[in-house]
Structure 1
Amino acid sequence: MTQARDGVLSRRAVLAAMGAVPVLATATPAAGAAVTAAAAVVIDRSAQRQTIRGFGGMTHAAWIGDLTAAQRDTAFGTGEGRLGFSVLRIPVPENQADWGRDLATARRASELGAAVIASPWNPPARMVETFVRGSQTNARRLRYDMYGAYAQHLNDFNTYLRNNGVNLYGISVQNEPDYAHDWTWWTPAEMVRFLRENAGSIGTRVIAPESFQYLKNMSDPILNDAAALANVDIIGAHLYGTSFANFPYPLFKQKGAGKELWMTEVYYPNSSDSADLWPQALDVGEHIHRAMVEAEFQAYVWWYIRRGYGPMREDGQISKRGANMAHFARFVRPGYVRVEATANPASNVYVSAYRGGNSTVVVAVNKGTAAVSQQFTLRNGTASSVSSWLTDASRNVASQGTTGVSNGSFTVTLPARSVMTFVTA
């Protein structure tokens, strides 16, 4: 992502639309519409899938200004009216003089328990050379004789943050190396070479390759090279224009043992509409669902936290898109594990489930125009009651009280065009 494309109809916006479902009309269903019955959702707590690291977003003070103190607490707090983010992404500035720009937000996020990751757009200018890439005559790349110095640059940034109270969870080699008209290009072979020969000296987790569209031609060579893979901790990806059909990654499941899989940047479905447009904001809920269930990502990280199309409006209030994120972020905490659940019990209904200690968290998105009577059944787990929260056209993550659980089952009505979170006790 680049500042120049923020909020305009760009190639990126077109690409994002490629992976989007059609925008729903804003009309509400007629009063007295029937409630649809759905197949039961079976949640098997013993069928464990990926460990969740968190949900979050990016701050970039140089481009859009820093979050205020109150906005930091809204973003990373977990109480009512908060987003509950547990991941913060920040840039790695080229110049050491700029390394403190995002420090205040990184410190506060860290204090509130969030993991902080960092991504560079460019190496220091002295390490870069220009070359001709197709029609681009001023394309940039890291000089081959500067690979070691660049690894030290990343390591120095990690040390700077640690010395200032922030322990980076991980650092990326390059933001979007395959969409780098405005920053630094890397070929798959160059990325593999750097990982093989230089990344092992970096003193925190290494993230790569952060392809803009989760293009596997960037990450397959890493997974297929044992020496490169040994120096990578997190396979990172962006989802701009990525079709749902390309969410699964069989090669990672085959060769990525011991590695993490993160989605480190996206806005969805676009950057041109208000984040409060309803029911379009439910697209975010479905997108996160598919990222968790179909792609099996362990983290989901938005682009700018505070933006008119983002989870936090410019006035610091949570948007409808943000409320969809909060249904996951506030309740599915780092270390929770996704468990098997009936993912699509009815048309336009999307369900995922997670276990944390003795509790089970269920997130249900109903994009349909009719309310749905939905039964949930817990297997290999017990519960006496379930608390719920609701977002619809008029409410944002509003508490709905508790419901009893009988013989491991409970039945609730999912309102039309809504998202709900359930937490068992």
Structure 2
Amino acid sequence: MGKITRFVFQSCLVLFFLVASCDRANAQYQATVSSQPQQTIKGWGVFPAWPDWPAGEDILKSPAIQKALYKELGITLIRVRIFHGSYNNALDNGSLDTSFLDRTLVKHLQIAKKNGIAQYFTSTWSPPVPMKKCNTWKGKCPDGSANSLKPEREDDYIRYNVKVLKYLKSKGLGLPVAFSIQNEPDAAVDWDGCVYSKEQFQRVVKKMRAAFDANGLKSVKIHGPEGATLDGSWERLGGVGLPDLYNDAELNQAIGFITHHTYHQWSWGTKDVNVMKQYSNAAARTGKDLWMTEWAAPVGSTQIDKTLNEMRHLARDLVIIKNNYWVWWMGWWLGSGSYNAEQTLLYGNPSNPTKTQRFDIYKRLWNSVRPGYVVKHLTTNDPDLKANNDINIDMVAFDGAKSMVVLFNNHTWTNKKITVKRLAGTNLRKYQTTSTENMADKGSTKIVRGSAIVSLPAKSVVLIVTNAGNGGSSLPR
């Protein structure tokens, strides 16, 4: 090919892609909200901080942190841990270290209650050290093997947890709405942890339920398995279809809520989605609420890419897995660095904490979508944005008594215009996050016969909130 011919060919090729890009940018794609509700949103939450670690103890001292997390964010409940230091490890005689409890967990819950958040649920990172196979609070033994609860100490562990919950109640804090015997029982980690086999997990859950019922703790639901991944959770209930819940009446009665973390990034495409749906459908048939109780591992080369990744993950957790509760991992962490960029809502100076992009998005979303709103998926003819049947979801709707809220994630480099159909109300307000904006108010747009055109800048998270809804739903879950 001659130089002139090659130049002409390359120029035409560039022109072709430019024209294609312009056509894509100017296209009027459509997205339609489903008329059918999926599940009911019942709560938003966060693990506020580690009140028992130096990097988190400012949650006990800083009014600015407390105001941001408890009054501004829009959460309805908090996740807290029962730390292994709550046990008198030195004596190992079944007694509690109430002094430790008073200055950490009790004080934390008192502050949250004072700031309007009285509802809480618990997770345990590690049983007391004397009750474990290896003499360490870590989930991994010095030889690299998984650390675990000694079978002969299971009853001691159960009595210990009964004492902790009764102590919290005696301090005027009420009881938790739910209790987990172990955070991530599938993970042998280099920090607080404990691994449970399926058999031990089920055995301890049943005994814990019986002990709760016998000690005035019937209102406390046991949630679980709370694995680090979906498969780590369902494996402790017999598999993706949760057969052990259906075949074991005592186990089914013992577990009140089905909980999991969603740290696995997944890479199987359609296979992933089908497995997730099988798990979600099996859970729905039990009539139990689904809880996503921890996640914070966005990926991306820039902050907006990480923000988009986590919003697509959130939408997937709601559209595909159909969670009723969704809980972000970390609220506050002292200092700065990559941990804060990926896992926290607030960081930096305790008296004037820095708010991350995700804080502003969750604040807007969670204050707009209250318990009782229902999740609705969308359909779209946009070839770039995923509305369903994908491990990353770019749009999800919430329908309630006062408004309809739609979240859009435009992860592409293309500015888009979407005609959104089947909206409620007569006008909507748009908020957007880009690399330079954090939920900026972009004004109102009229809704005409249920439709409105919404612009989605390249690399943006857009939230629209209408001035009316369809009344939510009385769905069973």
Normalising to structure 1: TM-score of the pair? 0.81
Match of 2:176 in 1: 168
**Aligned partners of 1:43 and 1:114: how far apart in 2?**
34
RMSD of aligned Cα (Å): 3.1
Q: Structure 2: which 5+ residue stretches go unaligned?
A: 1-17, 87-95, 334-339, 387-393, 468-477
Match of 1:71 in 2: 65
1:312 aligns with 2:346: yes
Summarize the Cα distance change of 1:242–1:392 in structure 2 as closer, same or farther, 3 Å threshold: closer
Equivalent in 266, 288, 301 of residue 314 of structure 2: 288
Equivalent in 74, 90, 93 of residue 80 of structure 2: 90
Deviations 1:206-232 (A, max 9, x none): 111111122231233653433212111
1:366 aligns with 2:357: no
Partner SS for 2:188: coil
Cα distance, 1:175 vs. partner?
0.8
Whether the aligned pair in 2 keeps the contact of 1:284 and 1:325 (CA below 8 Å) is no
Match of 1:127 in 2: 131
Summarize the Cα distance change of 1:48–1:137 in structure 2 as closer, same or farther, 3 Å threshold: closer
Whether the aligned pair in 2 keeps the contact of 1:58 and 1:302 (CA below 8 Å) is no
Match of 1:392 in 2: 434
Whether the aligned pair in 1 keeps the contact of 2:280 and 2:322 (CA below 8 Å) is no
Equivalent in 220, 229, 241 of residue 213 of structure 1: 229
Aligned residues: 386
Larger Rg: 2
Match of 2:475 in 1: none
Cα distance, 1:260 vs. partner?
1.5
Partner SS for 1:142: coil
1:191 aligns with 2:228: no
**Aligned partners of 2:309 and 2:52: how far apart in 1?**
29
Match of 2:185 in 1: 177
Question: What letter corresponds to residue 306 of structure 1 in structure 2?
Answer: W
Equivalent in 378, 386, 398 of residue 354 of structure 1: 398
**Aligned partners of 1:120 and 1:338: how far apart in 2?**
30
Identity %: 22
Deviates more, 1:63-72 or 1:226-235: 63-72
Partner SS for 2:276: coil
Map 1:373-384; keep pairs closer than 5 Å: 373-378=417-422, 382-384=424-426
Question: Which structure: greater strand fraction?
Answer: 1
Equivalent in 152, 155, 160 of residue 153 of structure 1: 160
Match of 2:367 in 1: 330
Match of 1:223 in 2: 245
**Aligned partners of 1:229 and 1:136: how far apart in 2?**
36
Partner SS for 1:62: coil
Cα distance, 1:160 vs. partner?
3.0
Whether the aligned pair in 2 keeps the contact of 1:176 and 1:211 (CA below 8 Å) is yes
Q: Higher relative contact order by CA 8 Å / sep ≥ 6: 1 or 2?
A: 1
Match of 2:297 in 1: 268
**Aligned partners of 1:33 and 1:327: how far apart in 2?**
32
1:62 aligns with 2:55: no
Summarize the Cα distance change of 1:75–1:41 in structure 2 as closer, same or farther, 3 Å threshold: same
Cα distance, 1:140 vs. partner?
3.2
Question: What letter corresponds to residue 171 of structure 1 in structure 2?
Answer: F
**Aligned partners of 2:381 and 2:263: how far apart in 1?**
24
Whether the aligned pair in 1 keeps the contact of 2:41 and 2:325 (CA below 8 Å) is no
Cα distance, 1:251 vs. partner?
4.0
Question: What letter corresponds to residue 203 of structure 2 in structure 1?
Answer: R
Question: What letter corresponds to residue 351 of structure 1 in structure 2?
Answer: M
Cα distance, 1:177 vs. partner?
1.1
Normalising to structure 2: TM-score of the pair? 0.72
Partner SS for 1:419: strand
Summarize the Cα distance change of 1:341–1:138 in structure 2 as closer, same or farther, 3 Å threshold: closer
Partner SS for 2:304: coil
**Aligned partners of 2:461 and 2:266: how far apart in 1?**
22
Partner SS for 1:295: coil
Question: What letter corresponds to residue 326 of structure 1 in structure 2?
Answer: K
Whether the aligned pair in 2 keeps the contact of 1:219 and 1:235 (CA below 8 Å) is no
Whether the aligned pair in 1 keeps the contact of 2:46 and 2:330 (CA below 8 Å) is no
Whether the aligned pair in 2 keeps the contact of 1:57 and 1:85 (CA below 8 Å) is no
Question: What letter corresponds to residue 60 of structure 1 in structure 2?
Answer: W
Whether the aligned pair in 2 keeps the contact of 1:40 and 1:377 (CA below 8 Å) is yes
Partner SS for 1:306: strand
Question: What letter corresponds to residue 121 of structure 2 in structure 1?
Answer: I
